[in-house]
Amino acid sequence: MNYASFVSADGSPTWGIIADGQAYDLGPSGANLAHTLRAAVEQGIFGTVGEEYRNAPSRAEAVIEFLPAVTDPGKVICIGVNYRSHQEESGKTEQKAPTVFTRFADSQMGHLQPAQMPATTTKFDYEGEVALVISKEAFHVAEEDAFDYVAGYAAYNDLSVRDWQLAASQWIPGKNFPGTGGFGPYLVPAADLGDVNALTLETRVNGDIRQKASVSDLYFTIPQLIAYVTGFTKLSPGDVIVTGTPGGVGLFMEPSGLLSEGDVVEVEITGLGTLKNTVELVS
């Protein structure tokens, strides 16, 4: 089942289920099951809605404005250089612990919303990734229990302003410009996907394949990431972990594969749909 956050017919944020080309409104402007998708996760509603969703108000998926899959996460924790292919192209191999940085929730945008390239950079880059959303309070989680704390998965594009990212040892500035965290289009319950390691991620720029990898190629696995992150911070329902990007980013391509105004970036992941954003130059 594909869940999503989007703008309702009255212009307010809402959430619901996308099925058969229709967006069914389960938020305050519709069936009012929960205020937000994050609240639905917290209340245990996410992933449990039955066929009654078809009685909710609906509109064609083609006309809705998508919002980030989870619009209001308390924490967005991102993992750097976490596929072997990306470690090799960046020269950062044999890591002893995950590389962790934070992304602010207000830097995110939804499917089909513009990826905002700041006019001050010439090094705007894509990073297709798998994101997971936490289902319940998580602190000091053991690896063997980690999947019990995953509500669902979504596609993510951790767009990076490389000159700001690489100006110092801390990456946060280059990862938090407005409109640079693509998240969606859907949040799919973990129970609907089976083995997450069998999923394939593919990133395309103007139709050309730039990245392609299996989730099984992660250097630090999803259980290892959850155990590590919850070892130092408590996570709450709706919090997000973005698991890392494969090799093939624009920065290391010859000639350069960095993004320009008008480029269309798609991140497609098995079972999670295709996240699409077009680069827009902003001052």
Domain boundaries, the chain: 2-63, 76-282
User: According to the model, what pLDDT value does residue 90 have?
Assistant: 79
* 76-282: CATH, from 3.90.850.10, 3.40.30.10, 3.40.50.150, 3.30.1130.10: 3.90.850.10
Residues 40, 63: Cα–Cα separation, whole Å: 24
How far CA 50 is from CA of 4, 17, 45, 46, 110, in Å, comes to: 16, 11, 10, 10, 25
The band of 174, judged by pLDDT with boundaries at 50, 70 and 90, is very high
Average pLDDT, the chain: 97
Quick one: pLDDT at residue 94? 77
> pLDDT tens across 91-149, in order?
777 789 999 999 999 999 999 999 999 999 999 999 999 999 999 999 999 999 999 99
Whether residue 250 is predicted with pLDDT greater than 90 in this model: the reply is: yes
Q: Is 191 helix (H, G, I), strand (E, B) or coil?
A: helix
Contact status, residue 166 vs residue 172, Cβ threshold 8 Å:
no
* The pair of three-digit structure tokens given for residue 135, joined into one six-digit string: 């289902």
What is the percent of the chain with per-residue pLDDT over 90, rounded to a whole number?
95
Check residue 200 and give its pLDDT.
98
- The pLDDT, as a whole number, for residue 264 is 98
The amino acid at 150: V
pLDDT at 89: 81
| Ranges of H-type helices in 91-221 | 162-165
- Mean pLDDT over residues 262-270, rounded? 98
pLDDT band at 80 (very low <50, low <70, confident <90, very high): very high
**Structure tokens, 198:** 């069998």
List pLDDT tens digits, range 192-236.
999 999 999 999 999 999 999 999 999 999 999 999 999 999 999
Please compute the mean of the pLDDT values over residues 78-101 and round it to a whole number.
88
**What is the predicted pLDDT for the residue at 86?**
80
Dihedral (CA of 38, 41, 43, 49) sign = positive
On the question of pLDDT at 84 being above 90, the answer is no
User: Which of 25-34, 89-98, 239-248 has the lowest average pLDDT?
Assistant: 89-98
Q: Can you list the positions of beta strands (E) in the chain?
A: 2-7, 13-19, 22-25, 58-60, 76-80, 99-102, 108-109, 115-118, 124-125, 128-134, 150-158, 160-161, 181-183, 188-189, 200-205, 208-214, 240-242, 264-269, 273-282
Nearest Cα to 80, choosing from 225, 196, 262, 283? 225
